[in-house]
Structure 1
Amino acid sequence: MTELPSGTVTFLFTDIEGSTRLWERNPDAMWIAIGRHNAILDAAIAAHAGSHFKSIGDAYAVAFRDAPAAVAVADMAQRALAAEPWGETGPLRVRMAIHVGEATPVGGDYLAPSLNRLARLLATGYGGQVLLSEDVRRLVAEHLPHGVTLKNIGRHRLRDLLEPVQVSQLVIAGLPDHFPSLKSLELHPTNLPVQPNSLVGRGQEVAAVRAMLGRDDIRLITLTGVGGTGKTRLGLQVAAELSEAFADGVFFVDLAPIADASLVLPTIATTLGVREGGGQSLRDALVAYLAEKRLLLVLDNFEQVLDAAVE
């Protein structure tokens, strides 16, 4: 290993999304996949003079003397990971996060507050996503690789940190750039659209739907009525008021653009950030994802794709 950087150091952390499940499902295939994963990351790190100083399971911790090099590695690695033919495991989707801070290596490792912050940031992301702290964003904004831009995704409170932090995301041309809301503390996961005004005169209906959703024996509620009577607005109001009751989030799934019932399941999965892989069909992946969640889905305009109800 080359000499570890000291002083102002930029750190890149990586983690394979759902790796435990993949290991349990097909360990032989995962050994092969991990070999490819490691080779891809090692090549990108070597190309930009990074120092891979620690692995925890299949997660990497890498140090750099400058922030643009860390971003270049994330860009190069994500492109290669996306292009790799993974075979039996399905795609390995790797979340990454980058932060910078003062650090001094000790015995081939680092002990620094910046690493704690980076670990918290990484935990909020999703496979294929690259998150940057505000300090890193300032350092790299004018030094991005070709085909890479930045997206501001707001201020988020991370576990064990007192104040919310500004977070940005790398947008890499040709790769997915839409992900669910970060898994940060102050936000219950949601994609509910912001309403331009208050709901007036529907207090009785809101209370009735809320009461039904509070019952353990009710898992499905259908709001019916002629078009234009405010069913969507009522559903959104109830969902917004109950966001704290559903620890794993409340999500709005707009089915208005869909006429083909076979597209309902993929639309729900896309909204939740669920993808097939690891030998599972998209349906099985979605069922497994929802099985242990306390989550509310608002399916709008379902009447036009009723055949999907058999799913």
Structure 2
Amino acid sequence: MRPPTGTVTFLFTDIEGSTRLLHQLGHRYADVLEQHHQILRAALETHNGYEVDTQGDAFFVTFASAIDAIEAAVIMQRSLNARSWPAGGVMRVRMGLHTGEPTLTEGGYVGMDVHRGARIMASGHGGQVVLSHTTRTLAEEHLPPGVTLRELGEHRLKDLQQPAPLYQLVIEGLPNDFPPLKTLSTRPHNLPVQLTSFIGRETNIVEVKQLLAKTRLLTLTGSGGCGKTRLSLQVGAEVLDDYADGVWLVELAPVADPNLVLQTVASALGLREQAARPLLETVIDYLKPKTLLLLLDNCEHLLEASAQLADALLKACPALKILASSREGLGIAGEQTYRPPSFARPSPANAARLTVEELTQYEAVRLFIDRALLSNPRFAVTNQNAPAVAEICDRLDGIPLAIELAAARVKAMSVEQISTRLTDRFRLLTGGSRTALPRQQTLRALIDWSYDLLSDKEKLLLARLSVFAGGWTLEAAEKVCSDDAVIELKPEA
């Protein structure tokens, strides 16, 4: 069977509490999982479903017809509910349906609609089938017998896109009352809408969440363009349910005066200065009883002021946590740092031997494809241009911003032309979003911004290190750089 193209309905499924089931059933879990797979595959095969991917207990299936997708989901839920599971266990599977027009590449489906479908599924509960407005519109006049629709209201999903209405399939004879959806609409926050999809970083999100659970101040560090801000926002969305009083973003990038850091935090929290009362006291009194996560974004040019404020707030507010982003750590007691790695990318030497499907397993390639499609909807990775795509991602060191700037060029150049012109990457990598910060619109501006943040001693150290090609050892750096002019540099340098 060939994968459907054009208007496609996605079905994503996932077993709720699969880890708990594994511990409960032990060696019997493998048999239970196989029965689950058989039930789902029987339904999709009789309704023209195309199995795109299966990972563990999660299915990704596409249908040419929204009606077929809904009927398949209904049969799956009824069959799962009717089966007798061992040890009195219950197999609760959450399902999400969304319809869109994805791009089908040799490596599979790509596009915002694919991510949207996965997020819709993730918002639901075991036994629940949640669907988008698009899917509902296409199928509402042709629902199976005993099935109706329930409006769930407008929701912002954890992909940080615009709010959209969601619906639930009400299936006669099955449980139909569930807790509120797990979306951004259940907790207060000020997380901004993102206009592009979040690519990869699954492992990094897990690692950051684990660190955040164990520390009260976690700082994402790294060079400009490595994705600190986007990772911070996505983690904030993922952990929103853990903070009864919400997740609040404080954008420090536009702030030039260190004296305005406290005021910027207060403004993000909706607080105003009170006559004859210090603003810090107002902020502390507000935060002290709250379970809240503060995202301090872009601290590097206001490092001392950010560090002093974070220290004061954490000491006074016992349930407050801070996730900061900066070129370097804040340098206060109790701080944990995490450096997001560059995106995984294929070696250009091996790219010719990889299939397109294998190539698109790399985060850097997936990001390039996703952003290239925004500039040129007809763009596709083929066996012919795959080596050039791999070379672009490798030569840009897997740095997300640099890859995005390169991908924007596909509206005027082939990937082979982009790859060739990377010898002058500062001239090529321009033309970022006009609404982005100036330093994020070109690669040169990004590096200029980073360089200007260095002290005179750090600039001297960088100049001396420039004699090395491809890195250096500590011993070699000490011989070249150790004198009175640079010896007092802090470790981050």
**TM-score after normalising by structure 2:** 0.38
User: 1:184 corresponds to which residue?
Assistant: 183
1:154-193 aligned within 5 A: 154-188=153-187
- Structure (1/2) with the larger strand percentage: 1
Specify the structure having the higher radius of gyration (Cα).
2
Cα distance change, pair 248–57 in 1 and its aligned pair in 2 (3 A): farther
Find the counterpart in structure 1 of residue 218 from structure 2. none
Deviations 1:246-287 (A, max 9, x none): 6399xxxxxxxxxxxxxxxxxxxxxxxxxxxxxxxxxxxxxx
Higher mean C-alpha displacement, 57-66 vs 80-89? 80-89
Contact 1:15 1:94 in 2 (8 A): yes
| Distance (Å, rounded) in 1 between the aligned partners of 2:140 and 2:77 | 19
In structure 1, the partner of 2:71 is 72
Please list, as runs of the form range in 1=range in 2, the aligned pairs for 1:247-286 lying within 5 A after superposition.
Answer: 247=244
Contact kept, 8 Å, 1:94 with 1:129, in 2: the verdict is: yes
Q: Which runs of 5+ in 1 are unaligned?
A: 190-243, 250-293, 295-311
Task: Give the match for residue 98 of structure 2.
Answer: 99
Work out the CA distance in 2 between the residues paired with 1:107 and 1:36: 30
* 2:24 matched residue in structure 1: 25
Q: Give the CA deviation at 1:245.
A: 9.5
Cα deviation for residue 93 of structure 1 reads 0.3
Relative to its length, the structure with more helix (as a share) is 2
- How big is each residue's C-alpha offset from its partner over 1:196-229, in whole Å with a ceiling of 9 and x where there is no partner? xxxxxxxxxxxxxxxxxxxxxxxxxxxxxxxxxx
Q: Residue 157 of structure 2 aligns to a residue in which SS?
A: coil
- Gaps (5+ residues) in structure 2? 189-240, 247-290, 292-493
User: How many matched pairs?
Assistant: 195
Match of 1:144 in 2: 143
SS of the equivalent of 1:7 reads: coil
Q: Deviations over 1:28-87 (max 9, x none)?
A: 111111111011001100111111110122100000001000000000010000000011
With normalisation by structure 1, the TM-score equals 0.60
RCO greater where, 1 or 2, for CA within 8 Å and sep 6 or more? Answer: 1
**Compared CA separation, residues 89 and 115, structure 1 to 2 (3 A):** farther
CA offsets 1:122-141 (integer angstroms, 9 cap, x no match) = 11110000000000010011
* CA shift for structure 1 position 161: 2.7
- Look up the match of 1:132: 131
**SS of corresponding position for 2:67:** helix
Separation (CA, whole Å) in 2 of partners of 1:34 and 1:115: 25
CA distance in 2, matches of 1:103, 1:245: 33
Q: Map 1:113-132; keep pairs closer than 5 Å.
A: 113-132=112-131
Letter of the aligned partner of 1:247 in structure 2?
Answer: A
Identity of aligned residues (%): 47
Residue 115 of structure 1: how far off its partner (Å): 1.1
Alignment of 1:201-220 (within 5 A): none
Asked if 1:53 is matched to 2:52, the reply is yes
8 Å CA contact 2:12, 2:58 repeated in 1 = yes
User: Take 1:245 and 1:162, find their aligned partners in 2: how far apart are those partners?
Assistant: 21
